[in-house]
Amino acid sequence: MALKSQPLLLPVLLLSALLLSACGALERKAAVPAELQSKAVIADMKEVRYRIGVDNATLEREAIASFERERNYLRSKGVHSLPPANFLAVSGGGDNGAFGAGLLNGWSAAGSRPEFKLVTGVSTGALIAPYAFLGKDYDEQLKRFYTTLKPADLIKRRSILAAITSDALSDNLPLAKLVEKEITQEMLEAIAREYKKGRLLLIGTTDLDARSGVIWNMTRIAASGSPDALKLFHKILVASSAIPGAFPPVMIDVEALDKKYHEMHVDGGAVAQVFVYPPSFHLKDLSGAKNAKRERRAFIIRNARLDPDWHEVQRSTMSIAGRAISSLINSQGIGDLYRIFMTTQRDGVDFNLAFIPPTFKAEHKEEFDTEYMRQLYQTGFEMAVKGYPWQKRPPG
């Protein structure tokens, strides 16, 4: 769900990592050897994911294919010109995802929310993304997810002994069960239908063994027809929100040269807290080559505040370390926005940024604090209903 500026959680994660390194590792299948990384695939589902900076050609093929599917769909409806393409990217941020949920639903209520050609999500943004992709018919489910849940509905605390001898401080099995309940076969089929129209839903995770960001084509998974598609869909959403050390990683079965391996996937925010498409993908050049020039707009929802978060730091090891780590995470998030901004400027894509306003002052008592999420949801909702003041460039 993406690491947040938590003064207690982050030092505990650091200490946990040190303790875990002294304990025996839990059993798993062998990791994919470095020399076989490019050959590892999901059984019965070809080209459903892209390693950032590695699988550029595969991602380009999918982009071209999505354009062809869209053009054929439009022609079947008697439309022969390309409408504007709207991209939506939803960041991580834990329970701050309530802001993005409220903004999207308020956007629907205002009657100006567009259909998105592309939706991407990381961490809590990954949980929001399927609802955002399917549109306003799923607004009520999205609202319920971020305004009625409490900590026990998402995580189960482990004892200190269990935490230091296992793979995480807490168990996210409640979240996994909730995802299974919420993301149904009916939703999967609805997502598959949109894939045939040329739309894309992408989710980011981190492959810890390879120390690599991975983009999953959830629309292609949904349309694969594989009996394992829904199960994989669920696993990816949980993996994208699995904070390393706080929640267990998700082991994903892959094959390489007829041998079976495990990939260890965790929160996509370990690599990038938000993305639209990799900078190595030159959208402007590709669209020109394929005669697919059109107006394009990117809407980035950053589920965090961007103003300085003042906090008096205690003169203690854990307090200092925690504050430093949280500062690093915050800086990385802002860096992600600059990367997106520069990429969109290069490719002629209109940049639009939303984030939690500095005026929001609700007390945050614990992670997934229900009252906090309700107030934050309402803030995002009301701002969108009034006409959200999208920022045209990152802060500073």
Q: Quote the CA–CA distance of 196 and 128 in Å, as a whole number.
A: 22
Asked if 3 contacts 271 with a C-beta cutoff of 8 angstroms, the reply is no
pLDDT: which is higher, 308 or 350: 350
Write down the mean pLDDT value for the chain: 91
The least confident of 2-16, 70-84, 194-208 is 2-16
Q: Is the pLDDT of residue 50 over 70?
A: yes
pLDDT of 60 reads 92
**86-115 confidence digits (pLDDT tens):** 999 999 999 999 999 999 999 999 999 999
Q: Specify the range with the lowest mean pLDDT, choosing from 9-18, 312-321, 325-334.
A: 9-18
Residue entry with tokens 């769909």: 73
* Side chain identity, residue 10: L
Q: How confident is the model at residue 321 (pLDDT cuts 50, 70, 90)?
A: confident
Instruction: Average the pLDDT over 380-395 and give the result.
Output: 96
User: Which one is predicted more confidently, 26 or 107?
Assistant: 107
* Per-residue pLDDT tens over the stretch 172-230: 999 999 999 999 999 999 999 999 999 999 999 999 999 999 999 999 999 999 999 99
Cβ atoms within 10 Å of 157's Cβ, excluding its own? 12
Phi, psi angle pair for 356, to nearest 5°: -65, 125
The percentage of residues in the chain with a pLDDT greater than 70, rounded to a whole number, is: 93
Judge contact between 232 and 45, C-beta under 8 A. yes
DSSP per-residue string spanning 101-128? HHHHHHHHHHT-PPPPSEEEEETHHHHH
| Mean pLDDT within 131-136 | 97
For 233, the 3-state DSSP assignment is helix
Give the span between the Cα atoms of 40 and 32, in whole angstroms: 7
How far is it, in rounded angstroms, from Cα 112 to Cα 331? Answer: 32
pLDDT for 108 equals: 98
Read off the pTM: 0.92
- What is the predicted pLDDT for the residue at 8? 47
What is the model's pLDDT at position 5? 43
